[in-house]
């Protein structure tokens, strides 16, 4: 019993700290992106080398540790690509579909960690197939 209590005292704070680290990493990355994209700076679009290295490390950390964040970045990149070629009606349909998938991904943050990877994979497959029914089913499941 004492051994179990000792393990819990070590494991639970580690799990909580890991979750806190994800939120801290997201916030720090957000601040670095704001600084990088500040149009008032003469070197708009760049960061000093040390901050750029930190930014890249945070992106790598989040890609490895946060599947929802990773999915959202993928969807945002696809949205940006569609917007760049928005001349066709097909592109606009894809844009609406991608925006819907991005909105669904927001709901995944509250899911059980074991379900998050599966849900992210389901959304990716749905986006590849452009299957509106499948995406709707995923939305209902994780609402």
CA distance 45 to 49: 13
State the pLDDT at residue 11: 44
Q: From first to last of its 143 residues, what are the pLDDT tens digits of the chain?
A: 444 444 444 444 444 345 568 899 999 999 999 999 988 888 888 899 999 999 999 999 999 999 999 999 999 998 998 888 777 776 777 788 888 888 888 888 777 777 888 888 888 888 888 777 787 787 777 66
Torsion sign over Cα 63, 117, 23, 96: positive
Nearest CA-CA partner of 35 in 51, 54, 58, 57: 51
For the stretch 72-76, contacts whose Cβ atoms lie closer than 8 Å and that sit 24 or more positions apart, written own/partner, are 72/102, 72/105, 72/106, 74/124, 75/101, 75/102, 75/105, 75/127, 76/102
- Sequence-distant (≥ 6) Cβ neighbours of residue 35 within 8 angstroms: 41, 47, 51
Angle between helices 113-129 and 132-142 (to 10 degrees): 160
Scan for tokens 């991904």, then name that residue: 105
Q: What integer pLDDT is reported at residue 26 of this predicted model?
A: 94
- Joined tokens for residue 109: 């943050």
Q: What is the pTM of this model?
A: 0.73
pLDDT of residue 19: 53
Residue 118 has a pLDDT of 86
């Amino acid at each position: 019993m004492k051994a179990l209590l000792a393990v819990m005292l070590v494991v639970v704070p580690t799990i909580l700290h890991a979750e806190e680290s994800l939120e801290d990493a997201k916030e720090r990355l957000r601040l670095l992106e704001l600084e990088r994209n500040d149009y008032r700076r003469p070197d708009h679009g760049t960061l000093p080398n040390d901050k750029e290295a930190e930014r890249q490390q945070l992106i790598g950390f989040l890609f490895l540790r946060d599947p929802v964040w990773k999915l959202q970045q993928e969807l945002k990149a696809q949205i940006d690509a569609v917007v760049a070629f928005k001349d066709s009606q097909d592109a606009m349909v894809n844009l609406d579909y991608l925006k819907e998938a991005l909105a669904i991904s927001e709901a995944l943050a509250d899911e059980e960690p074991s379900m998050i990877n599966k849900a992210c994979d389901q959304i990716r497959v749905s986006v590849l197939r452009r299957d509106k029914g499948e995406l709707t089913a995923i939305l209902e499941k994780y609402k």
